[in-house]
Chains A and B, each alone.
Chain A
């Protein structure tokens, strides 16, 4: 199956709308049974599949400007057909689906070498340094559709893949082969109060994400929308998470540029 003919789920996040409220992070944690520590001050060993970064233009008051940028897994396709993380996993514990474009993680096969974490430039992969410990009674509130992960394995955003499975099961039972846009949505997209996160099939012209981004399949999915961009696009990761911003400094902070280069023209 050619990937261009299949589904290619992706996301576009409007940074002009994002207020940095963190609802997407909370929804993600609850939906995916993400473990947490008693003390979460050290963010270098916390697990946040969806993480909101705060960017600043670095200018003094009154010209200071800030922007919040939510960062899920980018579900990279790779310019040459290899996601950075999928190609390096020695035990085939992570895979790129040509049916959906989703990068999966097989927790029971991962043996915790962390090579995928070294390969991912987005820090979207997290290691379980501890076994999950839930506060008393909280285990009753865990999502039964998502398996909790054990100590010593890597995990990451799955684009709420269990929701895709449930939606596909329902569709098959009802004699349908395809999903409508609203039938498969991620928890973060649904939770965002500003409607900044739009999720759908990048290959489906009816889906909003396609209409907003206007991905160009001939150029590795590069957006035709001039306001749209991707993080670290010039590394060749070919991510499926797009961002929108009307601010030039935000677009410039999404990638590295030599002093004489301009975003969108330097490469």
Chain B
């Protein structure tokens, strides 16, 4: 039915089956949309946030998707600036994931603010001292960069590519892509860092506060570093999930291995830095405010020391140890285990730097306020997940997201004939190349 839109050399399931399988995802999306409009129309009283939890599930989701979307800028940096040419085989997918993550972050932010119609005040009345201002500017600019990086892939759709203007536009955009990759890396360094700074500058919140250099707390650098380390893990994890769902190999093992190796070493160095930071914070910073490490991890029903062990040990040391070894990277089970643990680790880190910051009592005579999200918060947080699945599904179906797919999954003779007869109708097909953006 939609064969003319499907990239040459690959096989896709029939359109009705494709749409049927996406049915539950669309239902999830609609659930999220209903919750989103409830929040916009009725206000943030639809959430379980309160005056102790001004930041909650949504801000965690924002920080997390931006960290996980870091695979886009870091893979682009490695491909275009460092010259790791092999990574072009997974770069399209990394950009797609980044685009989803950043657009999701912007959407969640639009729901999260109390006066959404005034969202532009952050640009108009910008306070240059605020980390959130830097986040807003860099995040918005970088989303523009990601759109520019994603666009050539869209233009490589078989039918769009037949239009000479779009074909030439796509070609020319490829030519200048290193400029955008460099811009993206520059912007990402600042907004990933600023997101770390959001918590790190809170000098009146001893759990969050960190010293640093000039205006940048250590969390500024740790967040950028962790995004570069864990973002590629998320890219690999989602590529593996896509392979599982489609039942095909989409990326060659040596590409995974190279990205995993770089991510592993980034993670290993990050974990060392994180341990040093934690040690200094526990022994110098917190005591200078009159508190000990265990003040932050006791006398409450949820936040035990396990969360620190889960974040740094299980989600940091173990995956880093796996990924920096050749055997670990080359063994599929270990590779998947490592990237999943890495993703868990960075999610826990962001949770602690948002939710635990709110939970730890600062006034000595106050207790730990606990929080659980309302269904509206959960639904609006799952909304971007559903949107992401849909965008991946449609991109995978109609765009050459994985350049190695035709090579890894040659179409057998009986399947090739109808595909070829379909292809004869498109003069531009012969010129189609794997997207490089």
Contact = CB atoms under 8 A, between A and B. Distances in A.
Contact of B50 (A44, A90, A91, A122): A44
A30 interface: no
Nearest to A116: B54
A110 interface: yes
A55 B366 CA distance: 9
Contacts of A261: 290
Given A88-B132, A114-B54, A118-B202, A258 B290 contact: yes
B287 to A, nearest CB: 6
B83 interface: no
A121 B51 contact: no
A121 B362 contact: yes
A53 B364 CA distance: 12
A178 to B, nearest CB: 32
B395 interface: no
A122 B115 CA distance: 24
B202 A127 contact: no
Interface string B30-61: 00000000000001110001111111000000
B54 A235 contact: no
A253 B130 contact: no
Contacts of B357: 118
Contacts of B133: 90
A120 interface: yes
Interface string B131-149: 1110010000000000000
Which of A42, A115, A130, A231 has the most chain B CB within a 10 Å cutoff? A115
B129 interface: yes
Given A111-B119, A128-B114, A44 B204 contact: no
Interface string B334-374: 00000000000000000000000110001111100100000
A110 B43 contact: no
B115 A234 contact: no
B44 A127 contact: yes
B21 interface: no
Interface string A40-73: 0010111000000101000000000000010000
Interface stretch (B100-108, B120-128, B162-170, B229-237): B120-128
A89 interface: yes
B291 A117 contact: no
A44 B52 contact: yes
Interface residues of B, number: 51
Interface in B11-41: none
Given A84-B202, A115-B130, A126 B115 contact: no
Interface in B351-408: 357-358, 362-366, 369
B159 interface: no
A86 to B, nearest CB: 8
A115 B51 contact: no
A33 to B, nearest CB: 18
B131 A88 contact: yes
Given A111-B122, A235-B204, A126 B51 contact: yes
Contact of A152 (B44, B55, B202, B365): B44
Interface in A85-123: 87-93, 109-115, 117-123
A88 B217 CA distance: 14
A127 B54 contact: yes
A265 interface: no
Contacts of A266: 290
Nearest to B292: A258
A254 interface: yes
B121 A91 contact: yes
A121 B122 contact: no
Contacts of B119: 111
Contact of B122 (A69, A90, A129, A151): A90
A153 B54 CA distance: 12
A119 to B, nearest CB: 5
B330 interface: no
A92 B115 CA distance: 15
B202 A232 contact: no
B363 A123 contact: yes
B51 A127 contact: yes
B209 to A, nearest CB: 8
A258 B295 CA distance: 10
A153 B45 CA distance: 12
A153 B114 contact: yes
A123 B115 contact: no
B115 A255 contact: no
A119 B205 contact: yes
A154 B119 CA distance: 15
A91 B290 contact: no
A7 interface: no
Given A90-B127, A115-B130, A256-B289, A235 B203 contact: yes
Contacts of A131: 43
A128 B132 CA distance: 21
B44 A90 contact: no
A88 B363 contact: no
A13 to B, nearest CB: 15
B204 A110 contact: no
Given A88-B130, A90-B136, A109-B118, 17 more contacts: A88-B132, A90-B126, A91-B121, A91-B124, A91-B127, A110-B118, A111-B121, A111-B122, A112-B113, A113-B132, A117-B51, A129-B45, A130-B45, A153-B114, A232-B363, A255-B290, A256-B289
Interface of A: 42, 44-46, 53, 55, 69, 76, 82, 84, 87-93, 109-115, 117-123, 125-131, 150-154, 231-232, 234-237, 253-258, 261, 266-267
Interface of B: 43-45, 49-55, 112-116, 118-119, 121-122, 124-127, 129-133, 136, 198, 201-206, 287-292, 295, 357-358, 362-366, 369
